[in-house]
Structure 1
């Protein structure tokens, strides 16, 4: 069993001075923590994997393909492989659990 604490993951991500920390990679999936501060620009490009985003904290809007919606703590967003997507109008520091399947390269 592997157990992760969000506070520990966020501290490790910040110590590495990056917006994203992959903390799990298995045969069929990977998981990471993505963080964007209020007002930040999300530089994401489409991925080769399906993704699920679970918003742990913060507020923003997200656009997936041609659709946009507001997200906040507790929101879950599915993004199919290859579809353009990004967070924007980030009004509160955003912390998002990301699950990729198959695992990200």
Structure 2
């Protein structure tokens, strides 16, 4: 079982991806992802709970109409089904994302 992913390896996987994210780890219903949103974060609500950890950059995070400023080291929790997105973020915004809970959730 894979239990370690370096930051350098996660960046390599992201560069190889055709999307703005790369799945780095999966175990049961949990997935570990690196996410670098494009100029506009067009996410739709997910069917799984998720955690964001800001690795690089800064911006604003909106969830269900509430907005907070985020930066390196911040932790964000998003319950399944909640409308959320990053906005007014720096071009270098980079996030670890952990999806967990109900299996089969879509990553969008």
In the alignment, is the contact (CA less than 8 A) between 1:57 and 1:73 conserved in 2?
A: yes
In the alignment, is the contact (CA less than 8 A) between 1:32 and 1:99 conserved in 2?
A: yes
Shift of 1:12: 1.6
In 2, distance between residues paired with 1:68 and 1:13? 27
Gaps of 5+ in 1: none
In 2, distance between residues paired with 1:33 and 1:91? 16
Q: Which has the higher strand share?
A: 1
In 1, distance between residues paired with 2:23 and 2:13? 10
Q: After TM superposition, which residue ranges in structure 1, 4 or more long, deviate above 3 angstroms?
A: none
RMSD (CA atoms) = 1.5
Shift of 1:92: 4.4
In 2, distance between residues paired with 1:23 and 1:30? 7
**Corresponding residue number in structure 1 for 2:60:** 61
In 1, distance between residues paired with 2:9 and 2:70? 24
Deviation by residue 1:4-49 (Cα, 9 ceiling, x = unmatched): 1112111221122321111111114111000135xx1001100000
**TM-score normalized by the length of structure 2:** 0.87
In 1, distance between residues paired with 2:74 and 2:13? 24
Shift of 1:91: 2.4
